[in-house]
Amino acid sequence: MSMFAFDCSQFIAIRSSNPQAGLGSLFDEALRITPLVDESKKQYLEKVLGLRGELQLFEVGDEEFQGDFEEWNDIGSAPPKLESLIELILKLAPISDDLDLVLVQSATTNADRIWRCECLAPEFRSKLFAKSIYSVEEGSSAEVSIYRVRSKAFP
């Protein structure tokens, strides 16, 4: 059993050499993104991401957000909130050293139930589509999905 008790949550974790990169102006109000203040959730993200230090952590405030994956049946046409999220990630990737999108169905630290995906920004849409119920790609049934997105090649 996990010591973290929350579910249906979405987080964005950013590490940037320029922490004053004007991130707030990029956030779409429809996504209700706010700085993460819950200490338990911060500890959870540090644990599953394996990151410490100067992270900027944000939470997507819509608890029904993940239901949009059930409606996403065409990779080229995502539901509006998912489209806004894709656009946001693509804007954040070039100004971030590390950018993680964490989708939590049920908070777990069990590595067998966490799906990790590293991708370049142009591949993000197709990798995120793996969460759609219409996808046969690996990752759709994971309790936690972590997308590490970069604008440049991974080292």
Domain count, the chain: 1
Q: pLDDT tens, 109-121?
A: 898 899 999 999 9
Give the Cα separation of 72 and 50 in Å (integer).
30
Is 78 part of a structural domain of the chain? Answer: yes
Structural domain contains residue 155: no
| Among 7-11, 61-65, 82-86, 109-113, the least confident range | 61-65
Q: Is residue 49 part of a domain?
A: yes
For the four alpha carbons of 119, 35, 26 and 31, in that order, the dihedral sign comes to: positive
Determine the Cα–Cα distance for residues 46 and 59; give it in Å rounded to an integer: 14
In a domain, 2, yes or no: no
Say if 1 falls within a structural domain: no
**Reported pTM:** 0.88
pLDDT, tens only, 54-79: 778 888 877 777 888 889 999 999 99
Domain hosting 48: range is 7-150
Report if residue 109 sits inside a domain: yes
